[in-house]
Amino acid sequence: MTAIEKPFIHALRTPLCNYIYDVNTNAFVDVDESTYQYLREAEQRGGALPDGADEHIEQNLKTLRAQGYLSSKRPQEIRHSQSELLEYHLNENIAQIELQVTQQCNFRCAYCNYCASDFESQRDHSAKRMSVETALSAVDFFAKRCSNQEDPTIGFYGGEPLLEFPLIKRVTEYAEKKLYAKNLKFTVTTNASLLTPEIARFMEEHDFMLTISLDGTPETHDRSRRFASNGKGSFEVIRRNLENLKQQCPDLEYSFNTVVDPRYPCDSLHELFSEDGFFGGARIRSTLIDDQFSIKKTVPGEVFLQQDSRHMFKTYLTFQGVYERKRASHVACQDLSAMFQRFKIDMKPSVSLPEAAAPSGPCIPGQMRLFVSADGILYPCERVSETSPAMKIGNLKEGFDLGKVDRLLNIAQDTAEDCKNCWVFRHCKLCGGPSDNCGELSADLRRSQCESVREQVEHSFRDYLWTREFGIPEDTLIKGV
């Protein structure tokens, strides 16, 4: 069998056209119905081309091959391209550290990963705080390892980080003095309930970027995000604080992070961030509830799915220029633009896949957003389990455990044979986190999520192709309307 006979492709179609996604070149090719059916059958047979292609199909295949498509090349070895540079990335190139200044929180959110009753394999809320010594040594640790970064960033995370504002203040002043020859940035991820004018002024003076958790209208927000002390909803307190902030610190930058509970309708969320005089037009990033560590899995409701689809559809029409921007959902517009920005990067053309490569899922653990827990343990980011030994990639005193980092970076070696033949290779979303089975990295757990990733990628492929078919300019997709 020659190499050309098992093309590495995926056949997909939109209501208007048939396509072959060519994995080696990372490109879509528009094909006619008969060629599509033929190649689709080949894909279903593991890539092997079926016998009996008519002259027309043969001619099309010949043309595609001549243009560099339909290569059957697959990676021979699963090895992340950055493996060789790991030591460099972790010693010179850390972009951001996230300091867990406290594990305590003044909220008890319904979906919170740190609520012991519903969640396994993640820590509980606790009163543990980061000491000044640990925080300052984390800054020193970062200062030694960010030489290649022009804009290194220090993030403050919790629990609720503003419970430890004096520590934040101390760390900020220390880091600014230490890293005076860097364009240092600060971020804080907060519920904004403790955002006093004094804190806001300090953050404005020190060029902070705030990420504020807000889940939507009072009704939606207060359903999940309640004060620990009295169980009351927090929306009004946050709104009041933000109004003060806007008035007193107009230069303080902030954006919203919204966790969407798909069991409930979502119209009000879209309306709030589109039409409300205060929240309308704000920068916002929305995500669905992360139930990775939860015993209870969140199943989207029918009403949510309908409403969400409708908002997305209107947004596409807006992008196409046939629906008024002001009537479309601001949240959906931003989500779609973000998706297309990502897509533009992921769709870089290529000549072929290298001999040794890894699926696109993992970032370099610890390089992008090194998470430092209250007791100085290092994690790849803030989204992983803090109780999992597999996710502990070092500590401030001893530095990185390169073996563990390499293991997470090359997590796809666990499912090497599946990955080598998977058409999602260049668009996979699975890093080490989803393989974490209560402390052990599990190939089966990783494998169990492959189908869902393939569905998501195919969905986004279709969205992308649809926009091309309707001639929506790339600039409109990326910058929004």
State the nearest-atom distance from the C-beta of 183 to another protein, in Å: 4
Interface residue with another protein, options 146, 192, 238, 333 (CB under 8 A): 146
What are the backbone angles phi and psi of residue 232, rounded to the nearest 5°? -80, 155
Nearer to another protein, 322 or 345 (CB): 345
Give the integer Cα–Cα distance in Å for 420 and 238.
49
Nearer to another protein, 66 or 181 (CB): 181
Q: Which residues contact residue 273 at a Cβ distance below 8 angstroms, ignoring those fewer than 6 apart?
A: 216, 256, 258, 279, 280, 281, 282, 284, 329, 330, 331
Interface residue with another protein, options 345, 349, 397, 475 (CB under 8 A): 345
Stretch that binds another protein, among 38-46, 57-65, 125-133, 343-351 (CB under 8 A): 343-351
* 151 counts as binding another protein under rule CB under 8 A: yes
Interface residue with another protein, options 59, 147, 309, 456 (CB under 8 A): 147
Stretch that binds another protein, among 51-59, 231-239, 339-347, 437-445 (CB under 8 A): 339-347
C-alpha dist (Å) from residue 147 to 78, 89, 141, 224: 30, 10, 12, 41
State the nearest-atom distance from the C-beta of 409 to another protein, in Å: 16
* 13 counts as binding another protein under rule CB under 8 A: no
Q: Would residue 93 be called left, alpha or beta, if left means φ above 0 and alpha means ψ between -120 and 50 degrees?
A: alpha
State the nearest-atom distance from the C-beta of 179 to another protein, in Å: 5
* 360 counts as binding another protein under rule CB under 8 A: no
Map the footprint of another protein across residues 78-97, applying CB under 8 A.
81, 84-85, 87-89, 92-93
Q: Are 431 and 411 in contact (CB under 8 A)?
A: yes
| Angle 122-158-433 from CA coordinates, rounded to 5° | 40
Stretch that binds another protein, among 127-135, 143-151, 327-335, 440-448 (CB under 8 A): 143-151
Q: Are 349 and 23 in contact (CB under 8 A)?
A: no
Centre a 10 Å sphere on the Cβ of residue 151 and count the other Cβ atoms it contains: 11
Q: Are 360 and 23 in contact (CB under 8 A)?
A: no
Q: Could you say which DSSP state residue 413 is in?
A: G
Centre a 10 Å sphere on the Cβ of residue 61 and count the other Cβ atoms it contains: 21
Interface residue with another protein, options 47, 152, 233, 361 (CB under 8 A): 152
* 341 counts as binding another protein under rule CB under 8 A: yes
C-alpha dist (Å) from residue 4 to 8, 32, 53, 72, 285: 9, 20, 15, 5, 43
* 283 counts as binding another protein under rule CB under 8 A: no
Helix intervals (H) in 259-366? 267-275, 302-320, 330-346
Interface residue with another protein, options 231, 348, 417, 471 (CB under 8 A): 348
Letters for 177-216 (x = contact with another protein by CB under 8 A, - = none) are -xxxxxx---------------------------------
List contacts with another protein (CB under 8 A).
81, 84-85, 87-89, 92-93, 143-144, 146-148, 150-152, 178-183, 341, 344-345, 348, 354-355
